[in-house]
Structure 1
Amino acid sequence: MLPQFLYFPFAIRDRILGKMNVSSDLIRLSCSICAYNGTKKTWDFMKIHDSVSILIFNTSRQCFVLVKQFRPAVYMCEVEKHHPQLFQNRDNESFSRLEDPLPAAVGVTYELCSGIVDKPDLSLEEIACEEVLEECGYDVAVTDLRKITSYRSGVGVTGSSQTLFYAEVTDQMRTGEGGGQAEEGELIEVVEIPLEDSMKFAYNETLQKTMGVIFSFTWFQDNIAPKLPKN
């Protein structure tokens, strides 16, 4: 049964705090000027951490394990679509009031378990194992991971690299509830997608999801599904 996209356990109140064009510990905004085919070009870009993502398949229940979470950037894109007047004036004073707030659900996305690469003393595999435990509650070892591939993400703005892994888990490997780290402000819901419904889910545009979900489900159908025991 496909998940419902109508519920998320909080609401957006009537005030957007404002827009801030600043860098942070996770994002560094930059601008480059260079000659490209004899033409002077200017590009804005962001320097962000590389990342890992993990396609998790629970063999006990024949389902994929995803995470669902609120993404402010997705929400703000929907706000601009429905309230374009808020973005016409770049003055923060005119940006603060939202008379008709959209429901939080419009900013919720289904994603693979993922995390940034910000621990230089750990390998990509070790970081991936930590993320699976923190976000989804499964205790996996490095040897449980299979690297699928790596690729560039956000090439127009960030150019960061993401490495995609595959992990098979069982119910016995689940040692916690997951949900991310509350002290870091993470609010993550673990979602299971039955294998039999996975491709229908992947192409259901009413359920917002990342390209990684669609790609990894397709990879699974090509590389793993044909080897599964037939019922």
Structure 2
Amino acid sequence: MEEQFILRVPPSVSERIERLFNENASSSEDGSLDLSFSEDGRSGTFMIGNERFPASLLDLPCIVESYKTYDDSVLIKTADIGQIITLREEGDPAPEGIEYKHGLTPPMRDARRRRFRREPDLNVLYLGATFVYDIFGSSHIFLHVQPELVQRVEKDLLNIMSGGTVESLHVEMVGPEAGGERKKDAPTPVAKPEDVPLEVATNGGGERERGDSDDSLEPES
């Protein structure tokens, strides 16, 4: 399986590596290249000729795709690169940690801080969860739904879908109060259609109350 890395070297070393690739290795002063890592897999030594340079393997802040071409027209992807090997001069300080904070291009400078979200602080999340739990615990709010309520709602929905009516319906009248608050009256149950009396209201003496609709039904003399 092919693995690729980005090799970032000082300018002086870059010129020597380019000259070694362009010239014959036997005729060049820098006849060989070698890279070895210690047991931790993060620090190592890069050798060019007889000179050694400290090397560090770091994780890039993003994935870089690698392509190759044979005809300068068609590009073929070869690998996803997520690590970089940096060389430094002897005596230069080693990088802190295993994460490289910069990308490969100038717009990606300090990309790990500017472009990516920080990891959440677990202590802050724990304090927030504890605060919410205390609120619900002090107000005696139960975080569960009664099965009877669910069954009643499901039954009402089925009745509505089949063309029926809701069995239990409550109407609340809300009126303004002196302090600007709204006061809720006691819920008044609505009678079912079958419970509505069919008799017409009478006017004291038992006779039907005559209205405009009754007069319109009498024949004209």
TM range (shorter): under 0.3
Q: Which has the higher contact order (CA 8 A, sep 6+)?
A: 1
Give the TM-score, by structure 2 length. Answer: 0.24
Larger radius of gyration, structure 1 or 2? 2
